[in-house]
Amino acid sequence: MRTAVITGMFDPFTRGHENLVRRSLDLFDQVVIVISRNAEKQGFLPDRVKLDSIWACFPDKRVQVVLLEGLLAEFVKQFENPVLVRGARNGTDFEYEAQLRAINMELGGIETVILPSSGSMAHISSTYARELIRYGRPLNGAVPTPAANVINRYLNEKD
């Protein structure tokens, strides 16, 4: 069994992320979506909202969603034949992902596959989606509908 591990902050989970997961489901037996934390960045959405919004998009039993505690290179060792799957929207993303690939290969011998974004999604980023949220704009087109529903519930309860 081959396991695709897709990691990111997913703050929030976008249509580009959803597309990457769906494409990975076509290529791998299972997909593990790993929500990472970045000590240098304050998260916009709480972890619970991130988890719930991603779960809402993937009721498929071949998809798991987890919060990362520790190093990714250590975490992926628990899976049989793990492969990191990363998306790249442009050349700058590709260069960054290639650097991460080298780090993960050095730390854990983990292979990485970098998939280019689907053309219609190259402009979608979590930063863009956060700006839509900040200014009260609809998330249509930037965030999958099930995820947007979870985020909107959270925002309404927060107010």
Provide the annotated active-site residues: 17, 41, 89, 126
- Answer whether the bond into residue 12 is a cis peptide, omega within 30°: yes
Query: Which residues lie below 8 Å from residue 90, measured CB to CB, with a gap of 6+?
Result: 122
Q: What dihedral do alpha carbons 147, 153, 154, 157 form, nearest 10°?
A: 180
63, 37 contact by CB (below 8 A): no
